[in-house]
Amino acid sequence: MKKVCVITGGSSGIGLSIVKLFVKNNYRVFNLDLVASAEGDFRHCDVTNVSQVTAIINDIAKQHTIDVLISNAGIHFSATIENTREEDLNKVFNINVKGAYAAIKAVLPSMKANHNGAILLMASDQALIAKHNSFAYNLSKSALASIAKTTALDYAAYNIRANAVCPGTIETPLYHKAIDNYCQKSGADKNEVHKDEEKLQPLQRLGQPEEVAELVLFLASDKARFITGSLQVIDGGYTAQ
């Protein structure tokens, strides 16, 4: 019998790689996203709408025991605190943090009833360190790390594990969009900026979405059954500097 995984934001980047890998490993994957995808069982969902997230997950839970939740939906935003408008802060938090809150709260009844579950939150290396021009994004990713730790403690008695995955610079569409935005504002050459980003990493390259997906698969599995409340860094050594 297939295990069931619910993921938010599984239609591109790291999320898409996770969906593909979990399907390959015999999971039934429900992908909650705004953008349609042929991978997994797609459910159109706006993660900022708590009632919508709740209704979709409740519907899945009526038919299936939810074994794994991967809260992956998120956006990037670059700005200092002075250049962050209230609406910018609200948008980042509504997607990155409130979306995680909605999904976790919705899956817990199913996991508690089954006395088993794995919850993975897609945080960032910015849950551990600060970066320039990243006030709202950094704040949101630190919040996800906190959610992983408090959830781990609150639900350990139900054998529900919660961990945060903290990727460094991963070559995704989100990465390329951020670089494109920077180049458009600064006039810099994208190839040079990309090379500079690679040089900043101790391993001298960017991470790939498939590498993050492999870590997520391990953390969701019984092989990681004694790992909970942790921040799992996958950043090519960046935060070790």
Residues 92 and 163 reside in one and the same domain: yes
Residues 195 and 226 reside in one and the same domain: no
Residue stretches of the chain with pLDDT short of 70: none
pLDDT of amino acid 1: 85
- Does a structural domain hold residue 239? no
Counted domains in the chain: 2
Residues 30 and 113 reside in one and the same domain: yes
Out of 137, 155, 175, 238, the active site residue is: 137
Residues 116 and 192 reside in one and the same domain: no
* Structural domain containing residue 175: 171-206
Phi and psi angles of residue 198, each rounded to the nearest 5 degrees, phi first: -65, -40
Residues 122 and 193 reside in one and the same domain: no
- Does a structural domain hold residue 241? no
Give the span between the Cα atoms of 75 and 95, in whole angstroms.
Answer: 7
Give the span between the Cα atoms of 81 and 193, in whole angstroms.
Answer: 24
Residues 48 and 157 reside in one and the same domain: yes
pLDDT of amino acid 142: 98
pLDDT of amino acid 58: 98
Helix H or strand E encompassing 160 = strand 160-167
pLDDT of amino acid 180: 92
Residues 102 and 199 reside in one and the same domain: no
**Could you identify the residue written with the tokens 């069982």?**
41
- Does a structural domain hold residue 28? yes
Residues 41 and 135 reside in one and the same domain: yes
Residues 140 and 186 reside in one and the same domain: no
- Does a structural domain hold residue 223? yes
pLDDT of amino acid 23: 98
Q: Assess whether 101 carries a catalytic annotation.
A: no
- In this structure, the dihedral spanned by the alpha carbons of residues 73, 13, 120 and 34, taken in order and rounded to 10 degrees, is 30
pLDDT of amino acid 6: 98
- Does a structural domain hold residue 76? yes
pLDDT of amino acid 135: 98
Q: Residue 149: is it exposed, middle or buried by C-beta count within 10 angstroms (0-12/13-18/19+)? A: middle
pLDDT of amino acid 178: 86
CATH number at residue 214: 3.40.50.720
Which pLDDT tens digit goes with each residue over 50-102? 999 999 999 999 999 999 999 999 999 999 999 999 999 999 999 999 999 99
How does strand 68-71 pair with strand 3-8?
parallel
- Does a structural domain hold residue 240? no
